[in-house]
Chains A and B, each alone.
Chain A
């Protein structure tokens, strides 16, 4: 910091494009969960009832359901979701790693609501979604390339199991052969030692994020993953995606119209 500046919080505030954040909170992207939760203000503070909206890996909270702008947001990367002992019923916590990291204590209004939130928040990270997408990408390549109708049996270690749910909740069905309860998955993004600092200061590794440990190598890069199957193979994924997107929209139309009967 500049010499002569008053002592106090040393780090300057990081800039963030908050308008984009606010827009993402209220746009028409799918909402992954929404509802009232009580949020604890601080360690010894009271609970405030807020309207929470989970969208992607962001948990927004509003004064109430009709508010146009969120009071705040909790960015859900690198956290665990746990049940907690609290005076409040149906309480759970979103806990981040690190010595000075914050733990957010929240409380739902019913057992069902609490379980719903814990499940949704446990799987909300971008990291988790990316793992699932990569897994499916591999599976698709395998069923197309390998031939045959059987769904390949994924390797247990490479399966993106959701972070371990508290034992009080029913275990999530995963692999048929997996032992119950669901074994705890080491959280992504908690390296025991930070990767080397590549410009002398900032950590700057371009390695694909993957679990440490005795696991199969990361899936091949996107470009190599598509095996030759037809005229669209040479197209970049984005174009492929768009082409199939049209198909999906048509399918969706069919599906919607076929939904008439209960």
Chain B
């Protein structure tokens, strides 16, 4: 799939929500833990070699799970298994077995740091932001009787309607 790589690289240079040096292990079999500068910008997680200015890679943080592993470590697991059979899909989504290809493993220097990152990554998706907006909009409407989105001229946008909330 083509994508605007230069712009993504430029994004990686923007101020981050969170940035830290963590241990990181990729999904491939036999991957070893490496020190990486990990940087959260909008809904992307960039990772750099600690002495380089350009990122090694980026992870899109939509539709993924952030899961606690051993103390001080967590994983980002990509979901979305479209091309496998139903039985396999059920095994995977129930967590009974894991698809080894889709798991990125991170080691933090403390439990606190681990918590912080997990919280931040769970909120770092467009879909989460969208749900938050709908939530606040509804709450404000309940208290004031007014729609706070009207002042921005976006109250009619389909993406902010209650019906946009999927289960």
Contact = CB atoms under 8 A, between A and B. Distances in A.
Chain B interface, >50% SS class? mixed
Interface in B42-66: 42-43, 48, 50-60, 62-64
Contact of A136 (B54, B137, B165): B137
Given A14-B9, A136-B137, A201 B51 contact: yes
Contacts of A161: 152
Contacts of B3: 16, 18, 21, 72-75
Nearest to A54: B159
Contacts, number: 255
Interface stretch (A85-93, A106-114, A143-151): A143-151
A14 B8 contact: yes
Contacts of B52: 201-202
B31 interface: no
A245 to B, nearest CB: 7
Nearest to B102: A19
A163 interface: no
B16 interface: yes
A158 interface: no
B139 interface: yes
B15 interface: yes
Given A96-B4, A205-B16, A20 B80 contact: yes
B16 A57 contact: no
A30 B153 contact: no
A54 to B, nearest CB: 9
Interface in A241-257: 241, 244-245, 248-249, 251-252, 255-256
> What range describes how many residues of B lie at the interface?
35 or more
Interface string A111-151: 00000000010010111011011001101100110000111
B39 A126 contact: no
Interface of A: 11, 13-24, 26-30, 32, 55-57, 69-75, 77-79, 96-98, 100-102, 120, 123, 125-127, 129-130, 132-133, 136-137, 139-140, 143-144, 149-151, 154, 159-162, 172-176, 189, 194-195, 197-209, 236, 238, 241, 244-245, 248-249, 251-252, 255-256
Given A17-B57, A200-B51, A251-B138, 6 more contacts: A16-B8, A72-B1, A72-B3, A74-B4, A201-B48, A249-B167
